[in-house]
Structure 1
Amino acid sequence: MSNTIIVTGADLAQQALDLLAGYEIIYAGKAPTEEDMVALCKQYDPVAIIVRYGKVSAPMMDAAPSLKVISKHGSGTDTIDKVAAKERGIEVVAAVGANAAAVAEQALALLLACAKSVVTLDSRMHAGHWDKAAHKSMELGGRTIGLVGLGAIGLRFARMADALGMRVIGFDPFAKNLPDYVHSVSLETIWRDADAISLHCPLTDENRGMLNAATLAQCKRGVIVVNTARGGLIDEAALLEAARSGQVMSAGLDSFAVEPMAAGHPFQGEKSFVLSPHIGGVTHDAYVNMGVGAAKNLLQVLLRCTAAV
């Protein structure tokens, strides 16, 4: 069996490297292209790939005949061609929950920034204005927050929202044994009843663009939208139009359809949008947790493969 692991990144937490001490680690850099990865796979024939940045495609898998497992450094596996992996007998695993606290806190920060106009007021204050007589913020206690996705991140955020005194409703067809303060409802109920909507689900072909002109029109006027999941869940043009019409009061966004965001993106300069560069899960603690989770997951798969031989 090959003794090499390729990391689609420039580094890995030392705690993860300690677990992988018996393997040769090859770093692909922070922005590996498909061509870069195919070349590395041909050169080193890795037994595993740890995915931090970029995508893992069928040609990369074909260039690595010894590849047994693709391990995501995080929870979202939409950047991995899972169909191709399954066809080739390659397992895809993810460090689910490793960054839950970090992403949930970012979602809360964006929600509060939207409800309290934090960014706008800060900018006005630095420019010498005092808007106390003219400004009124939104109080979240007693409001309804609608969560799409009730996995580790969604439930962590739900606990925070409940602590604020919010009514928490959520949609997740796979969620079981929900806490008492989370009320399971349909997507249609979330669109209709939520004062704020926060997305915490993986991106799939079925839910791509789920928040679009039609669903935004079903929402309460003045709804807040928060997305720390995947940019492809939102029709960005529809969100922008809804914000400009007042249907959406504010949006706090940490992920986008195309990343990194290019200069001149229509969201840039939009006063009702609070933006961050997909850093919800980027904390020191999450970095360690995701690295360790990715390492442990791939080692479990390789152990099974060795036992099966």
Structure 2
Amino acid sequence: MSKILVTGADLAPQALELLRGHEVVFAGKAPTEEGIVALCAEHNPVAIIVRYSKVGAAAMDAAPALRVVSKHGSGTDTIDKLAAKERDIEVVAAAGANAAAVAEQALALMLACAKSVVSLDARMHGGHWDKATHKSLELNGRTVGLVGLGAIGLRFARMADALGMRVIGFDPFAKDLPDYVEKVEMPDIWRESDVISLHCPLTEGNRQMVNAQTLSETRRGVILVNTARGGLIDEDALLAAVRSGQVMSAGLDSFAVEPMVAGHPFQGEKGFVLSPHIGGVTSDAYVNMGVAAARNALAVLAKQRAPA
């Protein structure tokens, strides 16, 4: 029986049912890249379903039977796609499977920033009543700029439109956009947005796209939301921008290095609302991503087995 390696400790029962014709091997709750290489060498899987950690050339070389690397989610930046292409290994992703969950997290972070939810909660629990001194930001009529107009970005756009916000977006690949999304270029995102929300994959071309220069081009007091990839942001530049007031607040669900370790400069800093990369972690998304990842892997394997 051929084997499928899951770089995590579990998979939705519905996904496991789809994979019943294969032996499924789990890498554990916190797999390392080296550990994945070792498991590939031990089990020689035909497919890897990627939940955590990275899958690079060494893992691929350790598993000569490997034919497909399937992401349990939409972002494939943890997979060495060039190495996979060189070895005739397909890389597939569960695009859209967690779109609702991540878009809702982006909305929650935007609202938490605009309405000072976290700081007011802490003040209330401390016995304070700040009604006479506090003013929140009203989002109705404000402009939100979206970087990335895929399944997640467009779902978030629909919610922002429902709040009465003007929605502008940049995505060189987006077509047939709804009439409430105005397609613009990146300079317009920096210049015109009251809120900027990132919904794009991480590439070498956009790494640290949010940096000291681009942050200086935004409106003073902008809100930044990131539920995509931490590598999109120069974290030192963002910290300086929040401290100076150029960025009013940042709602972040992803970070340059994960998991975040104790002593990270964002911790305890005013102006940051943080969550541990759980935007796509809901019970529904868990099932959707697992099923999609399993189906994608099986589709590639079936295609490669089919006679020419």
- TM-score between both structures, scaled by the size of structure 2: 0.99
- Paired position in structure 2 for 1:43: 42
- Paired position in structure 1 for 2:19: 20
The Cα offsets for residues 74-112 of structure 1, whole Å up to 9 and x where unpaired, read as: 000000000000000000000000000000000000000
The Cα offsets for residues 120-176 of structure 1, whole Å up to 9 and x where unpaired, read as: 000000000000000000000000000000000000000000000000000000011
Aligned equivalents of 2:38 and 2:219: distance in 1?
51
**What is the letter of the counterpart of residue 180 of structure 1?**
D
- Paired position in structure 2 for 1:152: 151
Aligned equivalents of 1:220 and 1:35: distance in 2?
44
| Equivalent position SS for 2:306 | helix
Aligned equivalents of 1:245 and 1:36: distance in 2?
43
Aligned equivalents of 2:30 and 2:40: distance in 1?
16
Q: Which sections of structure 2, spanning at least 5 residues, go unmatched?
A: none
- Runs (4+) of structure 1 exceeding 4 A deviation are none
Q: RMSD in angstroms over aligned alpha carbons? A: 0.7
Aligned equivalents of 1:30 and 1:69: distance in 2?
22
Aligned equivalents of 2:109 and 2:210: distance in 1?
18
- Paired position in structure 2 for 1:66: 65
Whether 1:263 and 2:262 are equivalent positions in the alignment is yes
Aligned equivalents of 1:308 and 1:269: distance in 2?
59
Aligned equivalents of 2:33 and 2:252: distance in 1?
28
After TM superposition, give the deviation of residue 189 of structure 1 in Å.
0.2
The 5 Å alignment of 1:44-123 reads 44-123=43-122
| Equivalent position SS for 1:70 | strand
After TM superposition, give the deviation of residue 182 of structure 1 in Å.
0.3
After TM superposition, give the deviation of residue 43 of structure 1 in Å.
1.3
Aligned equivalents of 1:37 and 1:179: distance in 2?
42
After TM superposition, give the deviation of residue 35 of structure 1 in Å.
2.2
After TM superposition, give the deviation of residue 308 of structure 1 in Å.
3.9
| Equivalent position SS for 1:204 | coil
Aligned equivalents of 2:33 and 2:188: distance in 1?
42
The Cα offsets for residues 243-275 of structure 1, whole Å up to 9 and x where unpaired, read as: 010100000000000000010000001111000
After TM superposition, give the deviation of residue 65 of structure 1 in Å.
0.3
- Paired position in structure 2 for 1:242: 241
Aligned equivalents of 1:283 and 1:271: distance in 2?
28
After TM superposition, give the deviation of residue 38 of structure 1 in Å.
1.6
**What is the letter of the counterpart of residue 287 of structure 1?**
Y
After TM superposition, give the deviation of residue 113 of structure 1 in Å.
0.2
Q: Share of identical aligned residues, percent?
A: 77
Aligned equivalents of 1:72 and 1:109: distance in 2?
25
Aligned equivalents of 1:249 and 1:278: distance in 2?
21
The Cα offsets for residues 19-77 of structure 1, whole Å up to 9 and x where unpaired, read as: 11100000011221222112211111100000000000101000000000000000000
| Equivalent position SS for 2:82 | helix
How many residue pairs were aligned?
Answer: 308
More divergent stretch after superposition (29-38 vs 259-268): 29-38
**What is the letter of the counterpart of residue 95 of structure 1?**
A
Aligned equivalents of 2:121 and 2:78: distance in 1?
36
- Paired position in structure 2 for 1:227: 226
- Paired position in structure 2 for 1:165: 164
